[in-house]
Amino acid sequence: MTGSRVHGFTLVELLVVMVVIGMLLTIAVPRYFKSLERAREAVLRQDITSLRESIDRFYGDTGKYPETLEILVEKHYLRAVPVDPISRASDTWVLLHAEDPEDTGIKDVHSGAQGNDGQGQPYASW
């Protein structure tokens, strides 16, 4: 058995591979989470636009603003009240009502999520 040699990796080779993998992960993971945040912000922008367009269409059709977002779903202006991708809930939307005393329905909608976007703007100002 003097001529046979066992094939495998040494401890040093395994440690070098682990260090390289660790360095790659320290580069990739922050970029991954940043791209997830940008994707959530894009979905939030689209959801707010969709809600505002539905409110405007409802007003154009009926001459008054909807009392709740659920009315937009019942009247088929929306399939469902969207989930705020930042707060991950559909009941955190900030509803702005019309100032008209005869029509106090929902005139506008903002995100109720806490925190700021990538440019430092609060989500509530969207």
* pLDDT tens sequence across 32-83: 999 999 999 999 999 999 999 999 999 999 999 999 999 999 999 999 999 9
Q: Count up the domains in the chain and report the number.
A: 1
Tell which wins on pLDDT, 114 or 51: 51
Domain contains 64: yes
Q: For residue 71, what are its two tokens?
A: 């009315």
Domain contains 121: no
Write the pLDDT tens digit of every residue in 82-102.
Answer: 999 999 998 899 999 998 888
Domain contains 123: no
Domain contains 22: yes
With residues binned 3-state (H G I as helix, E B as strand, rest as coil), the percentages for the chain, rounded to 5, are 50, 10, 40
Domain contains 3: no
Q: What is the sign of the dihedral through the CA atoms of 120, 45, 124 and 52? A: positive
pLDDT at 70: 95
Domain around 15: 11-113
CA distance 102 to 34: 45
Domain contains 4: no
pLDDT at 124: 84
Domain contains 108: yes
Domain contains 2: no
pLDDT at 1 over 60: no
